[in-house]
Amino acid sequence: MKIKAAVSVLAFLLTLGGPAMAVNQNALLNANANAAFLQCGTKHPSAKEAQRLERDFRKKRAALIASRNAKKPDGRPGNGNGGGGDGGGDDGGGDTGGPTLPGNGTISIDVWFHVIKSGADGADATNQINAQMAVLIDSFAGTPYTFNLVSITESDNASWYTAGPDTDAEREMKAELRKGGAGTLNIYSSSPGGGLLGWATFPGWYADAPFDDGVVILNETMPGGIASPYNLGDTLVHEVGHWLGLYHTFQGGCSGSGDFVADTPAERSPAYGCPVGRDSCKGKARGLDPITNFMDYTDDSCMFEFSEGQVVRAWEQSDTFRSLSAP
C-alpha cells in the first residue's frame, strides 16, 4: 500500500542558524556525505525485550477480543484479520478470530498542537500547522486513520523550548499542556537541540505514564522549515507511526522478529539519503531494504508508504492500548 508523502525522524545535526548544538555522541549513527545524523529519540526495546513485550501484547489483544466476542448476542467471533507478522523473523502474527480492519478514514484522531517558543524563536511554527496537518492526513490516506485538529496552544517558555526526552523540562511541559485521553494525539513543536528531529511514545506505555504520552518534533521539520532534507513535514508522520505502535523497519537487524511486520523486509541498519537497490540483509531472501517506508531513516523526498502489514499492526496496537477503533 503506497501512501503519499515521506518521513524521516532520525535526528539531524543542525545548528539551524544559531549557536552550535551539543551532540549526543552515544546517539551518533552513520553519516552520509552531506550531513551527520543522530538516531530518532523514540526509545526502542532490545530484541529480547521486544519479544517479551510482543508476548504481553498478544495476550492482552486476545483477552480484549475474547471479551468483545462474549458481549455479542450470538457469541460468534468477528471476521478475523491477519497480517501482524514478524518482519522476517519467527514470531508475530495478526488477529485470529478477531475484528476486521476498519475502513479507510473511519478512525478520526483528535489532535492538540502545542507550539513551544522562546521569544521570537519558534513562533513561525504556528503558521506552518495547516500545511503540516495536510501532510499528516495525506500520508495516512488509505489507512483507517484521519486526523482532526481540535486546538492550537502557544507557550513562551525557554526551558520547554529546548527540552530533550526524559528531562524535567519535558515532564513539566507535558504535565501542563497535555489534553485528552489515550486516543488523543498531543504534538509539541520545539527546538530540543542535540541534533534530535523528534520522538514519540508507544501505545503500550500510556497506562503507566499517561502524562508522558505524545509526539515531540523539531519545528524546522515542518513544511517550509530549514531542516533540509527533513523539512517536508514527514518527521511527524514517522513519529505518529511510533505513537500508533510501529517500530523502525530496521528493528532487530537481519535476524529475529524484526519489527513484527511480515511484509517489511529485514534491514541490517538505517538507510540514509535514498539508496535505491540497497539490500543490507543480502542472501537471506527477504527482499530489498524498505527505503521508501515511513519508518526508515531516508530523506523525506524518498519515503512515501506504509505496508499493509504495518497498517494492520498499527490498528491492533492502537485499538488495544488506545481504544482507537471505528464507531
Return contacts of 52-55, CB within 8 angstroms, 24+ apart: 53/204, 54/91, 54/92, 54/257, 54/260
Instruction: Give 153-198 pLDDT, tens digit per residue.
Output: 999 999 999 999 999 999 999 999 999 999 999 999 999 988 899 9
Q: Is 239 a catalytic residue?
A: yes
Between these two residues, 98 and 256, which has the higher pLDDT value?
A: 256
pLDDT at 15 over 70: no
Give me the pLDDT at residue 326, please: 85
Burial class (CB within 10 angstroms; exposed 0-12, middle 13-18, buried 19+) of 50 = buried
Q: What is the SS3 assignment for 23? A: coil
Domain boundaries 11-46+102-248+292-321, CATH class: alpha beta
Catalytic residue among 54, 170, 220, 239: 239
Segment 261-280 shows an average pLDDT of: 94
pTM over 0.75: yes
**Where is average pLDDT lowest: 16-20, 40-44, 88-92?**
16-20
Give me the pLDDT at residue 99, please: 73
What are residue 95's phi and psi, to 5 degrees? Answer: -60, 145
Between these two residues, 9 and 174, which has the higher pLDDT value?
A: 174
For residues 291-315, one letter each, b for 16 or more C-beta atoms within 10 angstroms of the residue's C-beta and e for the rest, the string is bbbbbbbbbbbbbbbbbbbbbbbbb
For the chain, give every domain's residue range. 11-46+102-248+292-321
Confirm if 2 and 305 have CB atoms less than 8 A apart.
yes
pLDDT at 34 over 70: no
Give percent of the chain with pLDDT exceeding 70: 80
CA neighbor of 126 nearest in space, from 81, 83, 190, 71: 190
Residue type, 266: A
d(CA 240, CA 245): 9
Q: How confident is the model at residue 235 (pLDDT cuts 50, 70, 90)?
A: very high
Bridge partners (DSSP) listed for residue 155: 116
